[in-house]
Structure 1
Amino acid sequence: AGTVPGLQESTITEACKIIKEAGCLSLSAIGTSQETSDTDTIRELALSSKRSGIDIQHIGDAGWGGIAFPENIMAMSVAIRGIRHTYFKMAQSAKR
């Protein structure tokens, strides 16, 4: 709900309700080069997805070296879950 022209947040919200009723998870993606936008844009896209009920947010790979800009990954994480949970996930062992 933010990178596709004409797609309204309310449409995504309704789709998320149907997906959850089916017992599934919803995923949205930023894969149209907006992953290289400034951090404020990334924050807005992340919050739009959260308001809509999206469970999983994918950020694309249009940055240098085929990854999203690290500051945008951080901005998205902080917008969605806050700084405390972001730092906890960053520090947590992958072998937990």
Structure 2
Amino acid sequence: MLAEMKADMFKGREGTVLEINTPQGPIRTVLMQVREMPQAYSPRATRLPFSLLMKAAPHAQVPSSLYQLRDPKLGTIDGLYLSPVMAPEFGPPGHAMYYEAVFS
């Protein structure tokens, strides 16, 4: 399923609750941003690279790793690499955790 993912599948869905399944239990996140990255496009690519930015509660801390993501529209997405990131445009550090998934 990861190979078929495109930004259009998430555009306009900001505010949607997505769930990250972790060994410690599920973490509820909110989709904050879908960003296309045309500068990262390669002629051999099968899609335009994009990223998803998700917001979680400040105590919802997990390391960069592969996770399963549950989306109410798309279902379960396996093997998604998520990294914690800073997102100052959405608030001061410490008020929330932010995770990014990049699709290249």
**TM-score if structure 1 supplies the norm length?**
0.28
Q: Which has the larger radius of gyration?
A: 1
More strand by share: 2
Higher helix share: 1
TM-score (norm 2): 0.27
